[in-house]
Amino acid sequence: FGFLRGFIVEEDLVRSLASMSAKERIKAIQKLPETMRKRREIRNKVLKEITEKSRHRGAQPSCCTQCLQGAAVSFRRFGNTLSEYFHLLRIWQKALKIIGAEFGTSVLSYFVFLKWLLNFNLFSFLINFGFITIPQFLAAEPNNLSFTGLELFTGAGYFQKTVLYYGFYTNATISKIENGPTYNMQLAYIFTVGIYFVICFLILLFSMAKSFYRNFINPQAYSGNASKLLCTWDFNISNEKAVKLKQKNLSTQIKEGLTEVNKEVLDFSVMERVLRIAVHLLAWVASLGTAAAACTGVYFLSINNLELFMKGHRNDLESQAAMLVLPVIASLLNTLLPFFFSWLGHLEKFQTPGQHICVTIIRVTILKMSIIGILCYYWLNIVATSESQCWETLVGQDIYRLVLVDFVFCLLGSFFGEFLRRIIGTTVCVNLGLPEFDIGRNVLDLIYAQTLTWIGILFSPLLPGIQMIAFLIVFFVKKVSLMRNCQPPHKVWRTAQMMTFFMFLLFCPSFLGVLSVTGVTLWRLKPSEGCGPFRGLSSMYAAVSEWIQILESYTASKWVVWIYHNLITSELFFFILSSIVLIVTYLYWQIIEGRKTVTKRLHEQLIN
């Protein structure tokens, strides 16, 4: 009787779902408290029920109607199957769950940030490839240079005459059909890069706002650990491995929350405070002095690198190897000095791991952004004014080498910093034990690589594709190295705010600095006379000014001219827009402060 009752209930459920609209039916099936396999069975029964109803409804439908209905049902089933397979192909979902369960949210935040940057570069590559590279293929000239294999490391030689670099792109209007549609490469190049940066700005801004709201403003952040303990378990989980993984993940989250609740507030004497302040000051002086010395070395090395290139770049092994000296030294400094900064942090003995990581990140940020700033000064003030035939391609090659060597050093860092450290800690010096995953150093490596990619987009449009492949390899190498070589942090701590901090560092100073460099390149610097889409112009932005002058002669395009003169080039418009944004931000900040106060009072009442 129990089986019969269950069968009748399921039949009633199938009939009720079949009578719903497609959207309501999908939502209802998703909310069923059943396993995924059972939901798929119910969905297939509903589709079968809908097909039978349509056959017996009214008169016998025509052959054409039957074919259309059968095709619609088949297409819907194919779409559902395809979405299931795409869900299985999200290769990092299982890896992220395992990392979160084994090592906590502090280490997980690095891999989530890496996955986010990977998607970011995929979007950038698709835009550049679609609007810049594909049209250039239609007007491309044959490449007469020979490929030796060294180009993969130096970016020079054969690659100079390919779509990888700015200098290969034409300044002509592309048209394959006589009297047919044309494609202005100058406008396509500058508008693609400009619109991409606008989209990046909005994505970063909204991502930071969303992360800030979720981690700092959302009242659920004040709900304590009771909701995690009582309301987090997913009763649809039936697989034994998934159950154990969920248990580990929940256990780690509760430990992180209890660590914050039981956080000790240390009371230091006056002498201890003075000693701690002196140690902090000495550590900051040492870190800033080291960063200044590194930047000085990179500057003089870059000057010698340009002189070597201008004397005549032969294609022999010696000259090819000389091109790699600058990126190798820069990457060596970016790899070794963060270990020194991390050692300084251990000497300072911070009260929480979060303070140690934040201070280390700030110091490494100063180092990496200073080195990038010195390199940008070298490219925009020395290389751009040199006698090079195509200085944009030269800058693109420098950035290509920096990205490639930084990727190699990132892999070597996993080998020497984690694998060999595990061997030493388990065989030679057992007291050291297994290493912990250095979140600050690894995150800053990602931000440094993404900053180089943003700077290089103007000079090498396909650079995001190269960086995307590098990030994909780094994800799996770091994941394997973490699982095999590292141990979970000794001090478990919650780091929900770390993702917001990472995005803020990516936005400022990284992205805002890139916007400044790109603005100077577009408005101030004179393009090369013999290469690139902007050859012969006073500046890259002059292509837009000439286009607006042409539009002024067409009555139908007057609105574009009005927007350009009254909005885009108007300082008053941007002043008013900035004022409105600041006022709205201030109002939202006051609302947020009020909500936090109310939430805090309600939380105190709940405790009482």
- Give pLDDT, residue 328: 92
The pLDDT of 569-584, averaged and rounded, is 86
Contact predicate 292/525, CB 8 Å: no
The pLDDT of 225-246, averaged and rounded, is 64
Which whole-number Å values give the CA distances from 585 to 214, 513, 571, 582, in the listed order? 17, 22, 21, 5
Q: Tell me: pLDDT of 367 over 60.
A: yes
From 208, 212, 210, 216, select the one nearest 595 (Cα to Cα): 216
Q: What is the mean pLDDT of the chain?
A: 80
The pLDDT of 386-392, averaged and rounded, is 83
Radius of gyration of the chain (CA): 30
Contact predicate 336/251, CB 8 Å: no
d(CA 421, CA 431): 12
Other C-beta atoms lying within 10 Å of the C-beta of residue 1: 5
Contact predicate 366/288, CB 8 Å: yes
pLDDT in tens, 165-188: 998 998 888 877 777 778 889 999
Which residue intervals of 379-462 are DSSP H helices? Answer: 391-414, 420-423, 439-456
pLDDT in tens, 541-559: 999 988 888 888 888 888 8
Contact predicate 309/378, CB 8 Å: no
d(CA 189, CA 69): 46
Lowest mean pLDDT among 511-515, 589-593, 598-602: 589-593
Query: What are the structure tokens assigned to 307, written together?
Result: 């002189």
Other C-beta atoms lying within 10 Å of the C-beta of residue 593: 11
SS3 492: coil
pLDDT bin (cut points 50, 70, 90) of residue 57 is low
pLDDT bin (cut points 50, 70, 90) of residue 239 is low
d(CA 448, CA 427): 34
Residues of the chain with pLDDT > 90, as a percent, come to: 24
- Give pLDDT, residue 234: 63
Q: Tell me: pLDDT of 89 over 50.
A: no
- Give pLDDT, residue 3: 44
Buried-state track 370-383, b at ≥16 Cβ within 10 A, e below 16:
bbbebbbebbbeeb
Which whole-number Å values give the CA distances from 512 to 197, 369, 490, 499, 584, in the listed order? 10, 12, 36, 19, 21
pLDDT bin (cut points 50, 70, 90) of residue 4 is very low
Q: Tell me: pLDDT of 359 over 80.
A: yes
